[in-house]
Structure formats: C-alpha cells, structure tokens
Structure 1
Amino acid sequence: MTGRRPKPVALPPLAADISGEYAACLWLKPLRSDNAHGIAASWTSALSPVASPSHARLALIALLVGGIAIGGSPIFVRFSEVGPMATAFWRVALALVPFFIVSRALPQADERPSGLRDRLFLFLPGIFLAADLGSWHLSLHMTSVANATLFANVAPVFVTLGSWLLFRTTITPVFLAGLALALIGVVVLKGGPAALGGGQMAGDATAVVAAMFYAGYMLSIGHLRARFSTSRIMVWTTFAAMTCMLPVAFFLEADLAPATLFGWGMLLGLALISHVGGQGLVTYALAYLPTAFSSLTLLLQPVVAALLAWLLLGEPVGLMQAIGGAIVLFGILVARRG
C-alpha cells in the first residue's frame, strides 16, 4: 500500500433486485476487458471474460434460473417458522459459509484490506444489507408478496437520487419521466388516489424503506469494486449483516431457531437456493452477458414471486394490481435508462 487513494471510477450501470434481494451480483458486475479467465474472474478481480456463443447461451440459462431462484425467496420467508428478523439472520449466517469457501478456493487478484479504515468501509455495506433484509422480510408479513417484491424493486431509483445528492450526478429528463410513470403505476396498483391511505399501505411503505436501504448498500459498495473482488466484498458484507442481525433478532423475537426440520429446510432453501444459488448464477451470467440483460431479472423476479404466492399462498393478483405493477416496472426500466 502506498497510501495513495485510488482513482474514482464510474459506478456500474444500475441493476435491479430485485425483490429486495440486494442482488449484489447485479451491482458488482465486473468491468469489461479483453481478459478471458472464466468465471473466476467475475468473483476474484475486476476482469470480465469475453463471451463465446456457448458461454452466452449457458449464461442466459443461468440468468433465468438465477432470477427464478431469487424470485422464490419471499415464499421461503413466509413459510419460515421464526420471525422476519431471525429469518434474515439465518439467511446471511447460512450463506456466509459457501461464500467464504468460494472466496478461499479462488485465487484473489485484488487488494487485501489494510488498516481499520478499509475494514470499516467493507463493513458499512453490511449494515445497509441488514437493514434492507430486516425491512423487506418484515414487509412480507405486512403486505402481499407481489406488492413487497414490486416496491422493493424501486431501489435503482433511490440509487440515482442518492448519487445526485451525494455525488452531484446529473438527473436526466428520461429519469424523471420514468419516476413519474412508476408513481402513476403505484396509484393504479393501489386502486386510485382514494385508496392510497388504506389497506396494506404500511407494508408497502416498509418495502419502499427496504429499497432505500438497498440503495444505500449499492452506493456504499460502488467504489469498493475498484480495489476489492466480488467474493471478498460478499464475505465481508454478509459477515457484517449477520453480526448486525443477531442482536436484533435475539432481543425483538421470541424464537431464534426453528423447532422442526421443515423450518430448517425453509432457512436452508432461502440461504442456499435463493441467496447463494441465485446470486451465484446471476453473477456468472452477467459476466458474459451485456448489462442490459439485468433488466430481465427486474421483470422476471416480481412475476415469479407473484405466481408462487398465488399457487402456494393463495394470493391472487387482480387486474388493476397487474396493470399497476406493469406500469411501475416499465417506469423503473425507463428511469434506469436515464
């Protein structure tokens, strides 16, 4: 270390999670280069492999499967035998093990954290991650799965607003048009202006708060990718989130651990299928696909969540809710392109 501050880099194109999933894989997509090191490059350095046709086909399949896996996470949360905070704790605690194994198994081409300042910067995103997960899991018990998933998808909008407030980045008319469309979609989804104050508004608002925390998570890790690999950031942020969630779950909820094998199965499914598996597949996919493909996960995950909630939880999606949700998603897509 020379003590010299790294040159700031442009933030990667905004990606969506994405159902409050904080899919860091979408935000941490490596920068494009001419180096072809395979999947390891996407997790260990700032290099991205050049896609061959076979890699592109496999990557598209991985993107679809990963999006479905992440989209199914609300079902695991709903079926969990413990409260939303304990569920969030086990989600990151169980995910930490495979993330750590991957980090140790792959060669690291990035810097190692040096000193307290580096460690604090690596710890900070985990605080936002814990707040995001806690808020989003709570919203899933206060409103419908479709609404919680949809409103958590507004995180990219808050990233742009946060970048404008903190870094004075330019907000374009296209972004403002997309934001207006998204707000109109919310009104339609809720059944018109007269219905905005009733029903599940508290749960919907909690999902929006989760999106704000996720935006803080994305902003706080944006510049870390200039120095640290995806795998290192994932290990640090997951450990930090686990550390934050443990006391919250312990003091706020009666049961920290599930009582049955079914309960443990739900937590393992959430951690390994949705969290690790979904993120891993999407991380692999976006190392070979254009960034525009991240929009596919934005569209896929709320649809998957709504379908699973209808089939498994008996939560039908009405016509106005479907139309409003489509307008919201379209507005977010427009805003991201601005």
Structure 2
Amino acid sequence: MPQPIFPATASASRNRLALTALLLGGIAIGGSPIFVRLSELGPMATAFWRVALAFLPLFIVFRATRQDQTKRPEGLRDMLALTLPGVFLAADLIAWHASIHVTTVANATLLANLAPVFVTAAAWMFFGASITRAFLVGLSVAIAGIVVLKGGLSGLAAGDRSGDALAVLAAVFYAGYMLSVARLRGRFDTVRVMVWSTLSAALCLLPVVLVTESQFFPVTIFGWTMLLGLALISHAGGQVAITYALAYLPTAFSSLTLLLQPVVAAFLGVIVLNEGVTVLQVMGGAIVLCGILQARRK
C-alpha cells in the first residue's frame, strides 16, 4: 500500500519542533546564494562540492548512530528510491545554476522558487492531498510577494526565455526532490535519507563538472571556506532540518514555507555584500510572510 503524502499526525510538541526545524532549514538554505556568489569556482563545481563536502559529516553521523534500531533498505527497489532525491537535487542545481548564466539573476531566483506550486499540484493530483482554498490563497500571496521582492512584473520582462525555462525546470526538479524525500521519511530515518541522496547527487554532478568546468579545486583558504559553509550550513544543516520536518508536516505547506529563502538571501545580501535594500524589497518580504502565515492558519 503506498505511503500517504501527508504523514500521520504527531504530537503537538513534535509538530512545533518540526516547524522550527523547517524554518531553520529554510534560513540555512537561504544563505546558499551568498556562498555561491563568493565561491572561486564555476557554478557546476560549486554545486558538486556543496554535496560532496557534506557527505563526509553525514556519513560519520550515520555510522555513529545505532542502525539496528532503524529500518534498512530491503532490496533494489528501496535503494533506487533512496537515490532518487539525489538525482532530483542534482538536476535542480544544474538547471538553476545554468539559468543564472542565461537569464537575469532575479528571474532565475524567482522562477526557481515556484517549486511550491508544483509540489501542491502533484500532492493533489497524484497523492490525494486535500488542498484548501485558504491554503491556495496563502500560496498565491506568497508567490506575489516574491514577485514584488524581485522587482515586480516589469523585472520579469528583462529575462531570457530559455533561461527562464531552465529556472522553471529547476523548480520542477526541486518539487520532485521534496516529494520523494517526504515519501521516504514515512519509512526511513533522516540521516539515512540524507546520506543516500547526498551521495547520489554528488555522483550525478561529478561528470557534469568534469565536462563543463576548467577549475575543479579552489586555490585559497577563502575559497574552501565558502564551499565548506555551503556544504555544512546550507546542505548538511538546512537539508537535514527540512528532511526531518517532512516526516511530520504536510509537504505542500513545507514547500511554501521555504519561500523564506529569497527573503533571507536578500537580507544577507544587505549584511554580507553591502547591497542596498529598497522599499519594494521590504514590502515583498512582508507579503511573503503574510502568505505563509495565512497558509499556516489552515
């Protein structure tokens, strides 16, 4: 019998812990554009080291835990299912990083954050999830807030269609990542899912890096520091927190909450990169938060 897309209701305290983990995970991933921008390497090499460097600490934690108390994969089908999120994640990173070089950064970021739309549609069409009108209103408000944050509809017109299409494709792949992780968390523990998916993503990204990038290793300590921050904070920290939360919170709502990422990225851009902040960006961030709160109420 297939696993439900919405996990069984946990205790109120467990739900609060899961929501806290989800918010912290969204904040941690929100810092990834800063690390990517400051990286000495090209986009594909940076994406590879993001998961490759995160694999080692995840594997150490995995080996240190008592595996006799957790469910193990029972055959080839389970193994393939555990690698699937990594394939989706690698495809997401490839499409998004490629889109940045073709269309505007604002368009690439905005369109790649349409993942909640695809998660909600897939959860309703394929997994029988109940989507309320109030949730759809919250989703629409949050998406509108991202549009405002990125400069409004006029800013979208400045992009390239092929690059915009790549960014939308990245959103589809990330939706696949979240849905596949949510299904797995009904059977396997957080660390096992992360170890398998992280290794899978690294193996998928490695040949792409070897073909497309001229530089594989950073040459300074600063370069390695940026990669370690991306790997340990955004991936090992952020994705682990999100993977944990997906066992206890509805996938559609979880994906909506992750719209905090561009808000966090804009905030960090002001602090770390001394980028200016406009009234429009502040309004956009506030609209996103209102949309998430509306969805949370329902």
Measure, in 2, the Cα distance between the counterparts of 1:282 and 1:217. Answer: 11
Measure, in 1, the Cα distance between the counterparts of 2:258 and 2:243. Answer: 15
Measure, in 2, the Cα distance between the counterparts of 1:64 and 1:337. Answer: 16
The alpha carbon displacement at 1:113 in A equals 1.3
The alpha carbon displacement at 1:139 in A equals 4.9
Q: Corresponding residue for 1:304?
A: 264
Per-residue CA deviations over 1:234-282 (Å, capped at 9, x if unaligned) read 1110011001000111112221222222212211121123322344567
Q: Corresponding residue for 1:330?
A: 290
- Higher share in helix: 2
Aligned 8 A contact 1:157 1:335 in 2: no
Tell me, what secondary structure is at the counterpart of 1:223?
helix
Please state if 1:83 is matched with 2:42.
yes
Measure, in 2, the Cα distance between the counterparts of 1:209 and 1:326. Answer: 27
Tell me, what secondary structure is at the counterpart of 2:70?
coil
Aligned 8 A contact 1:295 1:333 in 2: no
Map 1:96-107 onto structure 2 (within 5 A): 96-107=55-66
Aligned 8 A contact 2:178 2:255 in 1: no
Candidates 32, 44, 62, aligned match of 2:10 = 32
Tell me, what secondary structure is at the counterpart of 2:217?
coil
The alpha carbon displacement at 1:207 in A equals 4.3
The alpha carbon displacement at 1:304 in A equals 3.1
Please state if 1:71 is matched with 2:30.
yes
* Alpha carbons of structure 1 residues 10 and 315: separation in structure 2 relative to 1, 3 Å: same
Tell me, what secondary structure is at the counterpart of 2:40?
coil
* Alpha carbons of structure 1 residues 312 and 138: separation in structure 2 relative to 1, 3 Å: farther
Q: Tell which deviates more after alignment, 64-73 or 294-303.
A: 294-303
Q: Corresponding residue for 1:222?
A: 182
Measure, in 2, the Cα distance between the counterparts of 1:215 and 1:295. Answer: 8
Measure, in 2, the Cα distance between the counterparts of 1:197 and 1:128. Answer: 28
Q: Tell which deviates more after alignment, 81-90 or 221-230.
A: 221-230
Segments of 5+ residues of structure 1 without an aligned counterpart are 1-6, 14-29, 34-48
Measure, in 1, the Cα distance between the counterparts of 2:85 and 2:112. Answer: 17
* Alpha carbons of structure 1 residues 96 and 206: separation in structure 2 relative to 1, 3 Å: same
Candidates 255, 259, 273, aligned match of 2:233 = 273
Measure, in 2, the Cα distance between the counterparts of 1:279 and 1:243. Answer: 18
Measure, in 1, the Cα distance between the counterparts of 2:237 and 2:143. Answer: 33
Measure, in 1, the Cα distance between the counterparts of 2:171 and 2:297. Answer: 19
Map 1:47-196 onto structure 2 (within 5 A): 68-108=27-67, 109-139=69-99, 143-144=104-105, 151-185=111-145, 188-189=148-149, 191=151, 193-196=153-156
Name the amino acid aligned to 1:32.
A
Q: Corresponding residue for 2:157?
A: 197
* Alpha carbons of structure 1 residues 201 and 174: separation in structure 2 relative to 1, 3 Å: farther
Per-residue CA deviations over 1:115-167 (Å, capped at 9, x if unaligned) read 221111111111101112223344556544x7765654442332111112323
Map 1:229-240 onto structure 2 (within 5 A): 229-240=189-200
Measure, in 1, the Cα distance between the counterparts of 2:191 and 2:49. Answer: 20
The alpha carbon displacement at 1:335 in A equals 4.9
Measure, in 1, the Cα distance between the counterparts of 2:215 and 2:165. Answer: 26
The alpha carbon displacement at 1:201 in A equals 7.6
Per-residue CA deviations over 1:66-99 (Å, capped at 9, x if unaligned) read 6554332211111111111111111101100011
Aligned 8 A contact 1:129 1:217 in 2: yes
Measure, in 2, the Cα distance between the counterparts of 1:277 and 1:84. Answer: 21
Task: Give the share of equivalent positions with the same residue, in percent.
Answer: 60
Measure, in 2, the Cα distance between the counterparts of 1:201 and 1:75. Answer: 25
Aligned 8 A contact 2:110 2:150 in 1: no
Name the amino acid aligned to 1:268.
L
Q: Corresponding residue for 2:208?
A: 248
Measure, in 2, the Cα distance between the counterparts of 1:117 and 1:208. Answer: 29
* Alpha carbons of structure 1 residues 258 and 230: separation in structure 2 relative to 1, 3 Å: same
Aligned 8 A contact 2:116 2:255 in 1: no
Segments of 5+ residues of structure 2 without an aligned counterpart are none
Name the amino acid aligned to 1:271.
A
- TM-score after normalising by structure 1: 0.70
Measure, in 2, the Cα distance between the counterparts of 1:75 and 1:297. Answer: 20
Cα RMSD, aligned residues only:
3.9
